[in-house]
């Protein structure tokens, strides 16, 4: 009975060990949260890129006259005509306007965003500055953007991402 009366609480060492275990657990949770935030941001950017690729595909389907004469392919001339709703434009002018506004949207909405429509036998290749469009096969829409990711050691890495979809008008 005398031993029980002498014990009055936790020792300083026990408290320090408990705080150390708590700190390790909280740092692990913080690392998981950081990984989750960057993964979510990366998925959101990929979703935006998919919407932008679909938007260009819809613009092409709406202007088949320009598509059949390859007005969307490669890098058409920059549009000097504003072909908004209610404006009369030719098919070529509308294609130039669509591509110009689409590229401007990509540049502002995606980090270092670029987009191209080209003819390629293997569309899922290329990188910014080197599209790898061989002029053979089917048409494709290619988008490139930069993405920040955290590697296993939680160091920030930046690399490009590519989204290539075959164009079936």
Domain extents in the chain = 11-166
Residue-wise pLDDT for 132-148, tens only, equals 788 888 888 999 988 76
Beta strands in the chain (DSSP E): 114-120, 138-150, 156-166
Closest CA to 97 of 74, 69, 77: 77
Are the C-beta atoms of residues 163 and 142 closer than 8 Å to each other? yes
DSSP 120-132: ESS-S--BTTB--
- 44-48, 52-56, 86-90, 104-108, range with the lowest pLDDT: 86-90
Q: Strand, helix or coil at 164? A: strand
Of residues 150 and 127, more confidence is placed in: 127
Q: Say whether pLDDT at 156 is over 70.
A: no
150 — pLDDT class (breaks 50, 70, 90): very low
Q: Exposed e or buried b for every residue in 88-124, given b needs 16+ CB within 10 A?
A: ebeebbbbbbbbbbbbebbeeebeebbbbbbbbeebe
Give the pLDDT confidence score for residue 56 in this predicted structure. 92
Give the pLDDT confidence score for residue 162 in this predicted structure. 87
CA distances from 35 to 26, 39, 139 (A): 14, 6, 36
Mean pLDDT, the chain, whole residue set: 81
Residue-wise pLDDT for 31-73, tens only, equals 888 777 777 778 888 899 999 999 999 999 988 888 888 877 7
Are the C-beta atoms of residues 128 and 104 closer than 8 Å to each other? no
Give the pLDDT confidence score for residue 138 in this predicted structure. 85
Are the C-beta atoms of residues 103 and 118 closer than 8 Å to each other? no
Give the pLDDT confidence score for residue 77 in this predicted structure. 62
């Amino acid at each position: 009975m005398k031993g029980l009366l002498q014990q009055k609480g936790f020792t300083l060492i026990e408290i320090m060990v408990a705080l150390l275990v708590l700190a390790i657990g909280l740092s692990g949770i913080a690392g998981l949260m950081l990984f989750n935030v960057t993964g979510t941001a990366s998925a959101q950017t990929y979703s935006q890129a998919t919407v932008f690729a679909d938007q260009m595909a819809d613009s092409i389907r709406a202007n088949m006259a320009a598509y059949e004469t390859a007005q969307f392919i490669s890098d058409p001339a920059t549009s000097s005509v504003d072909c908004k709703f209610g404006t009369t434009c030719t098919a070529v002018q509308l294609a130039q306007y669509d591509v110009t506004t689409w590229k401007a949207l990509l540049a502002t909405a995606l980090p270092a965003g670029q987009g191209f429509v080209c003819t390629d036998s293997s569309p899922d290749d290329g990188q910014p500055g080197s599209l790898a469009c061989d002029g053979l096969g089917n048409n494709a829409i290619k988008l490139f953007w930069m993405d920040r990711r955290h590697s296993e050691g939680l160091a920030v890495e930046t690399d490009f991402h590519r989204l290539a979809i075959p164009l079936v008008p």
